[in-house]
């Protein structure tokens, strides 16, 4: 007689990028063991683990490699909340030097998007570029490489089209060298307009408010990115 297999609860969330409803389950014990192996792992290995756990816990229904990075982060943090616990212990450093121990509910996190943010950027009065959000692996590669040329490559990969008042040029119809030539023709100020797309892109954030018991200062701290959520 075989041992009984327990049923696993499921939950739902909406993808921040599209609003698509996603069904997910908590980590199983075997997956939690994998999660623990992230301690000491480099960025690429940690990224691989996160990607595989998100894929398994969403029942392989999503094309994880194509999702914007903030979608993957949002799913993973919700998985963490349902699997390990909603409360996360953190230490806030006050300007006076005092360290304040506090906690927050990870289910209160949100995906923040600037109200005027757009994936279409006018680099001149008549020429614009259409962008896509970087994928999770792209962001991991940027952090692990820490090389300026990697950022330039990311910009190239995220341009989906170039357009003017008359024509729309899909980058699928052009070589990488041709796209690079276009970028190299921009002034520094014009290129910075494209860079601002990444700076102002949606991001997973958690605001933490604390009062210092030493100096009385009211502190408002923001956590952004997976590394700061102590997952």
d(CA 147, CA 199): 17
Three-state DSSP at 92 gives: strand
Which pTM does this prediction carry? 0.85
- In this structure, the number of other CB atoms found within 10 A of the CB of residue 155 comes to 19
The reported pLDDT for the residue numbered 184 is 95
Least confident of 36-40, 53-57, 108-112: 36-40
Residue with tokens 């903030």: 70
DSSP 133-165: PPBHHHHHHHHHH--HHHHHHHHHHHEEEEE-S
Task: Give the pairing of strands 203-211 and 11-14.
Answer: unpaired
d(CA 65, CA 59): 15
Least confident of 42-46, 131-135, 147-151, 183-187: 147-151
Q: Is the pLDDT of residue 38 over 80?
A: no
Q: Which of 140, 22, 10, 144 is nearest to 71 (CA)?
A: 22
Model confidence over 132-166: pLDDT tens digits?
Answer: 999 888 887 766 555 656 788 899 999 999 999 99
């Amino acid at each position: 007689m075989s041992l009984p297999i327990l049923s696993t609860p499921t939950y739902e969330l909406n993808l921040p990028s599209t609003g698509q409803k996603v069904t997910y389950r908590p980590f199983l014990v075997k997956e939690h063991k994998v999660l623990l192996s992230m301690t000491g792992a480099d960025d690429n290995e940690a990224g691989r683990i996160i990607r595989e756990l998100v894929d398994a816990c969403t029942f392989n229904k999503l094309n994880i490699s194509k999702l914007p990075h903030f979608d993957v982060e949002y799913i993973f943090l919700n998985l963490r909340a349902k699997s390990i616990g909603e409360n996360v212990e953190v230490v806030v450093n006050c300007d006076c030097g005092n360290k304040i121990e506090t906690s927050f509910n990870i289910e209160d996190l949100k995906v923040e998007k600037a109200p005027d943010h757009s994936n279409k950027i006018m680099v001149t009065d008549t020429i614009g570029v259409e962008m896509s959000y970087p994928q999770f692996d792209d962001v991991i590669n940027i952090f692990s490489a820490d090389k300026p040329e990697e950022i330039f490559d990311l910009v190239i990969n995220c341009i989906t089209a170039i357009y003017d008042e008359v024509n729309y040029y899909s980058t699928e119809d052009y070589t990488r060298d041709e796209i690079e030539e276009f970028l190299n023709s921009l002034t520094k100020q014009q290129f910075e307009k494209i860079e601002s797309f990444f700076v102002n892109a949606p991001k997973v954030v958690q605001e933490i408010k604390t009062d210092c018991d030493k100096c009385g200062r009211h502190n408002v701290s923001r956590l952004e990115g997976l590394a700061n959520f102590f997952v």
